[in-house]
Amino acid sequence: MKNFFNAIGLADMEKVHSAMIAWMFSPDCNALSPEDKSKALNCLFDINSQRNYKSIRTELETYNIDIHIVTDEGTPEETHWIIENKIKSNQHSNQLDKYVDIANKKYGEGKNHFVFLTLIKEEPLGQYYHLWANKTYLSLHKILNNLTSWKSRDNSHKYILKEYIECINLLNDSLNDFITYPNKYPHVFEYGRTAREDKDFDNIKGDSGEHASFIAECNLEKIFQECFLSEKIKNEYLKDFQGNIFIQSWGKAMLVMYGKEGWNFDPLRLQIEFQGETFKVVLINNSTYLKPDKDDYKLIYEQSNNNGKTWERIFLDSKEKGWRIQRSHKKNGKIMKPRISLDFRIDPEWYKNPKLFMESYRKAVDMADKIAKNG
């Protein structure tokens, strides 16, 4: 029989995970003793304490905070615990700083703890990064599995918790095996926007990875692509790009890197993108990217003129050396986002060849540096 949470496709649903975590700590959950709830809370937030809290209250989506936990409410020891839960997406717009500011304003400074819960380790960003403990779902599994009270109880809540612990264990095992042996999971890179009912499960079962069917059933392809790129690239090159690296899932995960020294020409900027098997060096009018018009697009070509070379000339010179130039002016008569790019494709099975990927990445960065220098 399938695990209940796997059967309903929980694995990629952040809000369901948040609801489960909030329920586990709440007074409504009879699977854990109050002592174990206190122990789990301290472990999750890296609090070196044996303290048992007299009361624990939980709520979801308060001031856009995923999980808000209050202990010893109404007493001088009242403490607020903030969990930002990220499975699908990365940090953006200094959101962690925003939550610190909200908590300090609403609950008072010195009364708050913060944890950034992610599928794989992702360093917190922002001016308050040092306030956030970064815990992964692997850490969460270990914390819950090491608790004892739920194992000796005999009620329905015990079995709900047990099923959830098994679910996140399989999620962690599948992700670890995929990242370690990506060549065993070709369908993870092929499927992105494919609905569950349209997947060829007979073919997927032919993958040598033992978790291939689970990944497909739970629609984890895009998330796992993000994790793979993050594990291989993001953390290694975060410093060079001043923290300006993010990964999005549009069918196939897209890696975007900008903010490197010398790449900003206000209001223009250069950035590197990688999606599918294509690297792109992109020049964007950053100031009106979401509301472009033809003048904004034209600015890309006219903004800089160095020794008679416009941006268009620089890009066309590069085209002659084997790159392709892509304009994003109009599509079906509609003005598109103001950008032009140079791109080149690599082997569709790039994930089997880390050296090829890194050499191609370096090629893209070198081209962007060259354009920045001559632009």
pLDDT tens sequence across 183-218: 899 888 887 667 777 787 788 877 778 888 888 888
- Under the banding of pLDDT at 50, 70 and 90, the label for residue 249 is low
What is the share, in percent, of the chain residues with pLDDT greater than 70? 75
| pLDDT at residue 292, rounded to an integer | 45
In the predicted model, what is the mean pLDDT of residues 30-34? 94
* CA–CA dist 217, 230 (Å, integer): 23
Flag the least confident range among 9-18, 136-145, 270-279: 9-18
Poorest-pLDDT segment among 7-16, 224-233, 338-347 = 7-16
pLDDT for 121: 82
Q: Any bridge partners for residue 65, and if so which? A: 62
Rg (Cα) of the chain, in Å, rounded? Answer: 24
In the 3-class helix/strand/coil scheme, how is 30-72 assigned residue by residue? CCCCHHHHHHHHHHHCCCCCCCCCCCEEEEEEECCEEEEEEEC
Q: What is the pLDDT of residue 243?
A: 63
Q: According to the model, what pLDDT value does residue 337 have?
A: 59
pLDDT attached to residue 237: 64
pLDDT of residue 1: 39
**What pLDDT score was predicted for residue 33?**
95
Residue 267 preceded by cis peptide, ω within 30: yes
Q: Which two tokens stand for residue 190?
A: 């092929």
The residues, any chain, with a CB within 8 Å of residue 185's CB and separated by 6 or more, are 178, 207, 209, 211, 212, 215, 224
**pLDDT tens-digit readout, 290-348:** 444 445 555 555 554 444 455 556 666 665 555 665 555 555 555 455 677 788 889 98
* Residue pair 78/92 in contact by the 8 Å Cβ criterion: no
pLDDT at residue 247 greater than cutoff 60: yes
pLDDT tens digit sequence for 115-151: 999 988 888 888 999 999 999 999 999 999 999 998 8
